[in-house]
Amino acid sequence: MTGLMLKDMYSLRTYFLKQLALMTVLYLAISVGLMKNFSFLSPMLTMSVVMMLISSFSVDEASSWDSYALTLPVTPRAIVGAKYLLFYGALLGTGVIASVLCGVLDSFTYRNGFLEIAASTGGVIVVYMLVTVFMLPLFFKLGAEKARVAMTLCFILPFLLIVWGFSWLGDGAAAFVESLPWPMIATVGGLILVLLCAASFFVSVKFYESKEY
């Protein structure tokens, strides 16, 4: 499975490094020049890394990787599992590294506190884990190009629901958020997220096994 993950990283390394450097400069300029806060840089870098990894599906499709993979001694479960590990590993790894680096920069500059940076990054990690739960099966089922439209909906709908919810609550939104039992929500939500990730993986395996290459 490690080899399958390395295959994706090697195929994307040039594109990935160029895009990561560009995004880092852009978001750093916004964080320093406009927002005066590094709690923007960390979550945006985390989000960008996951978005760049989506290109691995396009590379696989363009090179007919799946047809070749069927001749190798690897199972569909291993191929699908490598994608999930790559996405979730990159999401968590980037989030931790970016949070630590931004926390160090913040300690020498604006001193907004590491907790604010970690909270904003953690929120992005949770949201993107939920998005990939629905997004990855779509890519295995529909292919890279067709799934991009559905992927857009996966990002837009939660955003619209959140915006609508806060607009509906109005001035009471902040008080409502503070009144929620966050320890219980975190525990139950974490368990539900793990179950959703497991279900998403098994659905993706079924899609991959049934697809003709």
DSSP string, 166-207: HHHHGGGHHHHHHHS-HHHHHHHHHHHHHHHHHHHHHHHHHH
What is the pLDDT at residue 127?
84
For the stretch 128-158, pLDDT in tens is: 898 899 889 999 998 888 887 777 776 677 6
Say yes or no to pLDDT of 167 above 80: no
CA-to-CA distance for 44 and 23, rounded, in angstroms?
A: 8
For 82-93, the pLDDT digits (tens) are: 999 999 999 999
pLDDT at 102 over 90: yes
Question: What pLDDT does 116 receive?
Answer: 85
- Give dist(CA 144, CA 70) in Å, integer: 19
For all residues of the chain together, what is the average pLDDT? 86
**Largest distance between two CA atoms of the chain:** 60
Q: What percentage of the chain has pLDDT greater than the value 70?
A: 87
- Global confidence as pTM: 0.86
Q: Where are the beta strands (DSSP E) in the chain?
A: none
pLDDT the model gives residue 33: 84
**CB-based contact 142:157 (threshold 8 Å):** no
* Helix-helix angle 76-108:182-210, to 10 degrees: 140
pLDDT at 78 over 80: yes
Contacts of 66 (CB under 8 A, 6+ apart): 60, 79, 208, 211, 213
| CB-based contacts of 205, cutoff 8 Å, min separation 6 | 76, 77, 80
Return the domain boundaries, the chain.
Answer: 2-210
Whole-number Cα distances in Å, 116 to 17, 19, 99, 174, 178: 27, 26, 10, 16, 15
Question: What is the phi-psi region of residue 41: left when phi exceeds 0, alpha when psi lies from -120 to 50, beta otherwise?
Answer: alpha
CA 124 to chain CA centroid, nearest Å: 8
What is the 8-class DSSP label of residue 72?
S
What CA–CA distance (Å, rounded) separates 171 from 191? 31
Mean per-residue pLDDT for 4-14?
Answer: 90
Give CA–CA dist 203/209, Å, rounded. 10
- The tokens describing 77, both together, are 């479960």
46, pLDDT greater than 70: yes
Q: In whole angstroms, how large is the CA radius of gyration of the chain?
A: 19
Query: Does the structure show a pLDDT above 90 at 173?
Result: no
Counting residues of the chain whose pLDDT is more than 90, the rounded percentage is: 35
